[in-house]
Amino acid sequence: MSLKSFFYLWNANRQQIIEVPHHSVFGRSEESYYVIDSTVASRFHFKLYLNDSKSVIEDLKSSNGTFVNGLGLDPGEVFELNSYDIITVGTSHYVFFTADTLKDFDKEKLKEKFGEDFPRDFQEEILKKLIAFERYALPRFHRILVARKFQFAVADVESSRKEELSILEEKKLQVDEQKENLEKLYREKMEIINNNYNKIEAQQNNVNKKHDQEIETIKSSETQTVDLSDQDLFSKYFHSSYDEENSYLDIPEETTVLKPSNGKEKVIKGLSFSSSSKSRDNQEETGD
Question: Could you write out the DSSP letters of every residue in 22-86?
Answer: SSEEEESSTTSSEE---TTS-SS-EEEEEETTEEEEEE---SS--EETTEEPPTT-EEE--TT-E
Where b means 16+ CB within 10 Å and e means fewer, 170-188 reads: eeeeeeeeeeeeeeeeeee
φ, ψ of residue 26 in degrees (nearest 5): -110, 140
Q: Which residues pair with 92 in a beta bridge?
A: 89
For residues 9 and 121, membership in a common domain is answered with yes
Domain end marker among 117, 138, 167 = 167
Distance CA 108, CA 87 (A): 18
For residues 15 and 109, membership in a common domain is answered with yes
Q: Domain range for residue 151?
A: 3-167
| Domain assignment present for 145 | yes
For residues 32 and 121, membership in a common domain is answered with yes
For residues 37 and 150, membership in a common domain is answered with yes
Q: Name the residue type at position 216.
A: E
Run of H or E including 210: helix 138-219
What would the mean pLDDT of 92-117 be, rounded to a whole number?
A: 80
Domain end marker among 151, 167, 183 = 167
| Domain assignment present for 55 | yes
pLDDT digits (tens, 9 = 90+) for 127-160: 777 877 877 777 777 777 777 777 777 877 888 8
- pTM as predicted: 0.51
| 3-state class (DSSP) for residue 223 | coil
Confidence check: pLDDT of 7 > 90:
no
Confidence check: pLDDT of 258 > 70:
no
For residues 146 and 266, membership in a common domain is answered with no
Distance CA 245, CA 84 (A): 112
| Domain assignment present for 110 | yes
Confidence check: pLDDT of 163 > 80:
yes
Distance CA 87, CA 79 (A): 11
| 3-state class (DSSP) for residue 278 | helix
Residue 217 confidence (pLDDT): 84
Question: Could you write out the DSSP letters of every residue in 150-182?
Answer: HHHHHHHHHHHHHHHHHHHHHHHHHHHHHHHHH
For residues 42 and 147, membership in a common domain is answered with yes
pLDDT digits (tens, 9 = 90+) for 191-227: 999 999 999 999 999 999 999 998 888 887 755 555 5
For residues 237 and 157, membership in a common domain is answered with no
> Measured in whole angstroms, how far is the alpha carbon of residue 40 from the centre of its chain?
55
Chain-wide mean pLDDT for the chain? 78
Q: Which residues pair with 267 in a beta bridge?
A: 257
For residues 144 and 243, membership in a common domain is answered with no
For residues 48 and 153, membership in a common domain is answered with yes
| Domain assignment present for 137 | yes
φ, ψ of residue 251 in degrees (nearest 5): -120, 125
Question: Could you give the number of structural domains in the chain?
Answer: 2
Alpha-carbon dihedral sign for residues 158, 162, 168, 169: positive
